[in-house]
Structures are given as structure tokens and as C-alpha cells.
């Protein structure tokens, strides 16, 4: 616990910090691929694998279009309608049956709670989606405060610092008493703009397994 000894309050990112976001995405991709097979007679595994390829490429825009173009020479004539009526609603509303924490996550959270640290979670994403993940993972009870970017109007996604400021106000402490753990050296490390030390999760993984 030497990494956290100077701090009273410890914050975490969610996706790719406490669990592998690919788990969540691939559950949904598989369901979407089944729908694509029904509508376009495109093999489920072909479209699913194309979706995974796009995901691992790091491209965040037009994922479903790019995957379709990997499988076919052009987008189907009614593709936009399928996107609006089928794919996007399924992507936004699908609930996986299970998700699994990273191996390091449970020991780390347990250790911090036993040390009487206050914990908070700050995560980017749609409010409904992030709450689904938190509940399926079974980690809500660990946190004294949970802030989700898209619960703000307009959304305040990191590297916007509003959620970090709100965490400081909620706990009524100076930034020197708080630390934030994440995986993204731009979005999560934005905590340092308001004086909250950032710790890269990669430096902790081997210590808590």
C-alpha cells in the first residue's frame, strides 16, 4: 500500500483500468453480428471478426461501417436504416450477462477499503451504459462517489477536468490528499491539471495479483 500511503482518497477510472472494455464491446458485437447475418446473409463470424479488427486498430469512428466494408465491397443500400433502427439501439441498450474484473482489481479495492481509504470512480461514457457495467461487475459498494461524464449536461468527458473538481468539492479536501488511477495518459492524467496525482494502472498490476 506504499503507493497510496500519503493519500486519504483514491479514485479510479473504469474501462481498461478495473476491467477489460473489450469484454463489453465483444458481447455486443456478437449480438450485432447475428442481426447482420439475418438481414444480409453475411456470416456471423465474418462480421464479428471484422468488428474486432476495427476495435483493435484503435479506430473509434464508424466502427460498424468499416467492419462491413471489410466484408463487402460496399455498404448495403439500406445500411443507414439498419444502423438507426437496429444496430445503434442494440449497441446502446444491450446488457451482457456477465463481466469480469481484471485480476488485480479486487485485491486492490479490498486492500484500500481495509486501509479505510475513501474511494471514488470517475468514468467517461453514457450514464446507463456505465451504470450497467458497474452493477454487473459488482463494485458499486466500494465507492463513496461515482461520477459519469454523460450525466452532465452537456457531457464533461475527460480530459475535461470538471469531474475531478467535483470530486474535490464532494470530499472537501485539498488535491494533495487525493490520487487518481487510470490507464489513459491523456484523459486520466488530466487529473494533474487540478493537482490530483495520477498513477498509471500498469505500474500497479503486478503488485496486486
pLDDT in tens, 76-89: 999 999 999 999 99
pTM given for the model: 0.93
The C-alpha atoms of residue 8 and residue 118 are separated, in whole angstroms, by: 6
Examine residue 39 and say whether the peptide bond preceding it is cis (omega within 30 degrees of 0).
no
The C-alpha atoms of residue 27 and residue 91 are separated, in whole angstroms, by: 10
Using the 8-state DSSP alphabet, how is residue 86 labeled?
I
DSSP secondary structure letters along 134-193: HHHHT-GGG-SEEEEGGGSSS---TTS-HHHHHHHHHHT--GGGEEEEES-TTTGGGGGG
Three-class SS state of 2: coil
The C-alpha atoms of residue 181 and residue 69 are separated, in whole angstroms, by: 37
Using the 8-state DSSP alphabet, how is residue 8 labeled?
S
Domain ranges of the chain: 9-19+100-208, 22-93
Three-class SS state of 82: helix
Stretches where the chain sits below pLDDT 70 are 1
What's the confidence (pLDDT) of residue 60? 82
pLDDT in tens, 35-70: 999 999 999 999 999 999 999 998 889 999 999 999
The C-alpha atoms of residue 20 and residue 15 are separated, in whole angstroms, by: 6
Three-class SS state of 87: helix
Fold classification of 9-19+100-208 is Rossmann fold (3.40.50)
Amino acid at each position: 500500500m506504499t503507493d497510496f500511503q500519503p493519500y486519504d482518497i483514491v479514485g479510479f477510472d473504469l474501462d481498461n483500468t478495473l476491467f477489460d472494455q473489450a469484454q463489453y464491446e465483444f458481447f455486443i458485437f456478437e449480438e450485432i453480428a447475428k442481426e447482420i447475418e439475418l438481414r444480409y446473409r453475411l456470416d456471423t463470424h465474418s462480421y464479428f471478426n471484422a468488428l474486432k479488427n476495427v476495435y483493435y486498430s484503435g479506430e473509434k469512428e464508424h466502427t460498424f461501417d468499416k467492419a462491413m466494408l471489410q466484408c463487402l465491397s460496399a455498404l448495403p443500400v439500406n445500411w443507414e436504416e439498419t444502423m438507426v433502427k437496429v444496430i445503434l439501439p442494440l449497441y446502446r441498450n444491450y446488457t451482457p450477462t456477465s463481466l469480469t474484473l481484471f485480476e488485480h482489481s479486487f485485491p486492490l479495492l479490498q486492500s484500500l477499503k481495509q486501509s479505510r481509504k475513501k474511494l471514488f470512480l470517475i468514468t467517461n461514457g453514457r450514464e446507463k451504459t456505465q451504470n450497467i457495467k458497474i452493477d454487473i461487475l459488482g463494485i458499486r459498494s466500494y465507492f463513496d462517489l461515482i461520477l459519469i461524464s454523460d450525466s452532465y449536461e452537456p457531457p464533461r468527458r475527460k480530459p475535461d477536468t470538471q469531474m475531478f473538481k467535483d470530486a474535490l468539492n464532494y470530499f472537501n479536501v485539498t488535491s494533495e490528499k487525493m490520487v487518481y488511477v487510470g490507464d489513459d495518459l491523456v484523459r486520466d492524467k488530466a487529473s494533474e491539471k487540478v493537482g490530483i496525482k495520477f498513477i498509471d494502472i500498469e505500474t500497479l498490476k503486478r503488485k496486486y495479483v
